[in-house]
Structures are given as structure tokens and as C-alpha cells.
């Protein structure tokens, strides 16, 4: 592992200009692939009169239609599948609770790419494989299994050589988790901050805060929801490293916080710019500038020629409001491209009327 802080130092620390160059190159390839291999994209792009040649710069992406969760529902199950079925290794389905499922498909290349990107989380957090003297981390993974992204998050730790314990599916009692943490000398957690079941951090803290504080746990990696600010401050005051991982089922990883970050505001995430392109738009779908707050639109650029192709995700509205920031430089050395203070938005009625619905 390079430098113990990065998995791929060149990609993680690229200059902003270089990242944008790479983004445009990958974007053009992805748009071409989607147009040539998926009828839903082809129709939507034709309706707007856009294609690969439209993309002279990243700003031109604003001419393309915005994809929403409703579109994924509308074309369920195979509408966004863009490869022959014999190339597909995994299918992730979600949305069952609302009765409106979506499907995301993964090829072997997609799978490897997600694991590769997810592995960046651990060195950034100072979570490292044990050495020959058993100095290093043991990870307890309490995030709910079933989401492909979450599974990859766990597999990424194994790939780096970090021993990981997946929480047993029947363990909904915080007490059981506290026993595992003690028995195995767990030093790092992947966990949701809050939630209904007993597998979230709040649940564990309510049962026995002392046992979370006075044990070997050094690092808490949370995902799935923002962490309540008081909870975070309290844990940090007691010496724990608390870091968020930001991503989504449909689009994969968006970004991370690193233990080594300094000089950037709290609640800010580095964007993995080499594989994720983030735009922000207003109520009318019009692009906003870095520094402004708006709805987040994400394009998954893929890792290489083959990744991110089974279900191309181009200009997807994640449902979050964020501030996109370019700069300042960060003490961790990663690309100074950030999203800050994500907040879930429920009502898109105005935007839906003005600019969604082309798919
Ligand atoms: Zn940083």
C-alpha cells in the first residue's frame, strides 16, 4: 500500500485540472456506450438532440436529460441493462418497501471496480491490515447486508488484508454486538449512525456507552445516513476517529473523509473525481457554480473501459442537496474537490415539472 494513506496515490491526489480532463474523456466514452447499447438512453438523448459529439467540455453535460429514481422504476427490471445477460454477475434490487423496485446490474468489471474504489476508505481512515506482530486492525461490519455497494465495502477490507467480521444476520440485539467487539478485540466499525434495528451506533451507545468507549475501538466509519453532530463530537472528544463514507446504491461511491484531512470545513467529503462526476443544479435543473448549494446530480464514470457499463448511470439525481466545492487544498493531499453537508430532499415537484421526465 502506497504511503499507507492511499491505495492509489496517483488517482487520489490528482490535481483538479487533471481530474477534469480525465472526467471529460471518460464521460464521452460512457455517453457513447450508453447511446449505442441502451434503448432508453438512446431515445432520451435523441429527444434532447444530444450525443457524444455534444460534449466539448464538462459544461455541455448540462444539455443532457436528468435521470431520476422514477425512471429506474418505470423501466424496471431490464430497461437500463446495457450488456448481454451472460456478462452479468450480480443484480441488485431495491425499493421493495415502497412497492416500487429498481434494478442495478453488475458485470465482473463493475464488481472489481467498486471494490477497488471502496478499498480507498480504509487507508484514508488509518485502518490497516495487521502486521507480523499482530499490530493492525480488526473490522466489525454492522451495515445491513444485501446492498451490493455495502457488500463491496466489506469485501474491500478483505482485499486489503484487513480481517473483517460480518455481523450475523440474526444479531439485532446491541448486547450481542458488544460481545463480538469485546471477544475479537475489534478496533474498527462499519456502522450506520442511527436506525430502527439494534445494529446502529446509537443503539449500541444507549445500551452501554462505556463499553464502546473503553475498548479497543479506534475508528468508526459510518454510512447510510448523516451522523448526529452531538454524537460525533462526543465520540471524537473521547478519542475515537469518526469518519463518514458517502455513496448510494444506484451510483456507487461518491466520496470519503480521511483521518488526515485538515483545513476543510466539518461535514465535507472528498469526491472520488476520477470515477464520479458531481454537478449541482437548481429547481429548474439549471447548473450552479461551485460554492453554491443545490441538488446533486451524479454520473458514474467507471474505472476503465469496461467498468460501470452494465447499468450506465448518467446524470442521476441522488435526492440529496449539497454544496459542491473546488478548493481549498486539504492536509490529506487528496484532490481538493468536495461535497459538503449532504441533506436528503423529499419534494422535487417543481424540478420534475421543469426538467425531468425525458426518459
Ligand atoms: Zn482531506
Q: What is the pLDDT of residues 259-270, one digit of tens each?
A: 999 999 988 999
Alpha carbon of 259 to ligand 1 centroid (Å): 8
Q: How far, in Å, is the centroid of ligand 1 from the Cα of 306?
A: 29
Q: Which grid cell is 301?
A: 464514470
Q: How far is the CA of 96 from the centre of ligand 1 (A)?
A: 36
- Compute the distance from residue 149 Cα to the ligand 1 centre, in Å: 23
User: By CB neighbour count within 10 A (0-12 exposed, 13-18 middle, 19+ buried), where does 262 fall?
Assistant: exposed
CA of 307 to the centre of ligand 1 (A): 26
CA of 241 to the centre of ligand 1 (A): 14
- The secondary structure element, H or E, covering residue 28 is helix 16-37
- Cα 352 to averaged position of ligand 1 atoms, centre (Å): 35
Task: Calculate how far, in angstroms, residue 169's C-alpha sits from the geometric centre of ligand 1.
Answer: 34
Query: How far does the centroid of ligand 1 lie from the alpha carbon of residue 173, in Å?
Result: 35
Distance separating alpha carbons of residues 96 and 232, to the nearest angstrom: 31
CA of 254 from ligand 1 middle (Å) equals: 14
Measure 329 CA to ligand 1 centroid, in angstroms.
Answer: 8
Element (H, E) at 322: strand 316-326
Q: How far is the CA of 318 from the centre of ligand 1 (A)?
A: 23
Q: Report the C-alpha gap between 198 and 109 in whole angstroms.
A: 35
The SS3 of residue 320 is: strand
User: Which residues, given as ranges, of the chain have pLDDT below 50?
Assistant: 2
Measured in Å, residue 13 CA sits from the centre of ligand 1 at 10
Strand 219-222 and strand 276-281: pairing?
A: unpaired
Ligand 1 center from residue 305 Cα (angstroms): 28
| Residues around the ion ligand 1 (C-beta < 5 A) | 258, 261, 330, 332, 334
Alpha-carbon separation of residue 250 from 135, 148, 158 (angstroms): 36, 10, 23
Phi and psi at 317, nearest 5°, equal: -80, 115
Q: 331 C-alpha vs ligand 1 centroid, how far in Å?
A: 6
Q: Which pLDDT score, from 0 to 100, does residue 357 have?
A: 61
Please spell the DSSP secondary structure of 37-94, one letter per residue. Answer: H-HHHHHHHHHHT--GGG-SSGGGGGGSPBB-HHHHHHTTTTTT--S-GGGEEEEEEE
Distance 291 CA to ligand 1 centre (A): 17
Q: Which residues pair with 2 in a beta bridge?
A: none
Number of H helices, E strands in the chain: 11, 13
10 alpha carbon – ligand 1 mean position (Å): 15
Q: 279 CB contacts (<8 Å, ≥6 apart)?
A: 61, 62, 287, 296, 297, 298, 299, 315, 324
- What is the pLDDT, as a whole number, of residue 98? 63
**How far is ligand 1, taken at its centre, from the CA of residue 343, in Å?**
21
What is d(CA 120, CA 157) in angstroms, rounded to the nearest whole number?
9
* Ligand 1 center–CA 229 separation, angstroms: 19
CA distance 340 to 270: 9
| Angle 38-44-48 from CA coordinates, rounded to 5° | 140
Amino acid at each position: 500500500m502506497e504511503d499507507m494513506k492511499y491505495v492509489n496515490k496517483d488517482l487520489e491526489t490528482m490535481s483538479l485540472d487533471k481530474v477534469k480532463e480525465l472526467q471529460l474523456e471518460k464521460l464521452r466514452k460512457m455517453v457513447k456506450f450508453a447511446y449505442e447499447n441502451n434503448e432508453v438512453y438512446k431515445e432520451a438523448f435523441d429527444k434532447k438532440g444530444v450525443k457524444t459529439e455534444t460534449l466539448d467540455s464538462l459544461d455541455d453535460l448540462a444539455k443532457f436529460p436528468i435521470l431520476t429514481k422514477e425512471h429506474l422504476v418505470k423501466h424496471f427490471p431490464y430497461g437500463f441493462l446495457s450488456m448481454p445477460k451472460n456478462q452479468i454477475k450480480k443484480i441488485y434490487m431495491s425499493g421493495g418497501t415502497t412497492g416500487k423496485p429498481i434494478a442495478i446490474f453488475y458485470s465482473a468489471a463493475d464488481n472489481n471496480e467498486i471494490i477497488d474504489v471502496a478499498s480507498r476508505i480504509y487507508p484514508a481512515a488509518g485502518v490497516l491490515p495487521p502486521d507480523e506482530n499482530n499490530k493492525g486492525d480488526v473490522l466489525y461490519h454492522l451495515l445491513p447486508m444485501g446492498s451490493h455497494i455495502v457488500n463491496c465495502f466489506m469485501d474491500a477490507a478483505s482485499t486489503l488484508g484487513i480481517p473483517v467480521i460480518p455481523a450475523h444476520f440474526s444479531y439485532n440485539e446491541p448486547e450481542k454486538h458488544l460481545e463480538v467487539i469485546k471477544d475479537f478485540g475489534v478496533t474498527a466499525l462499519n456502522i450506520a449512525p442511527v436506525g430502527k434495528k439494534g445494529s446502529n451506533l446509537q443503539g449500541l451507545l444507549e445500551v452501554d456507552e462505556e463499553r464502546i468507549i473503553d475498548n479497543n475501538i479506534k475508528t468508526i466509519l459510518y454510512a447510510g445516513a448523516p451522523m448526529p453532530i452531538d454524537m460525533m463530537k462526543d465520540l471524537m472528544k473521547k478519542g475515537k476517529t469518526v469518519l463518514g463514507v458517502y455513496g448510494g446504491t444506484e451510483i456507487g461511491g461518491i466520496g470519503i473523509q480521511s483521518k488526515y484531512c485538515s483545513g476543510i470545513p466539518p461535514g465535507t467529503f472528498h469526491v472520488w473525481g476520477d470515477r464520479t462526476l458531481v454537478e449541482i443544479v437548481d429547481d429548474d435543473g439549471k447548473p450552479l457554480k461551485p460554492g453554491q448549494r443545490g441538488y446533486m446530480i451524479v454520473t458514474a464514470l467507471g474505472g476503465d473501459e469496461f467498468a460501470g457499463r452494465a447499468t450506465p448511470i448518467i446524470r442521476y439525481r441522488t435526492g440529496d442537496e449539497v454544496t459542491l466545492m473546488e478548493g481549498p487544498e486539504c492536509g490529506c493531499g487528496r484532490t481538493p474537490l468536495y461535497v459538503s453537508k449532504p441533506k436528503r430532499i423529499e419534494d422535487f415537484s417543481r424540478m420534475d415539472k421543469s426538467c425531468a421526465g425525458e426518459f
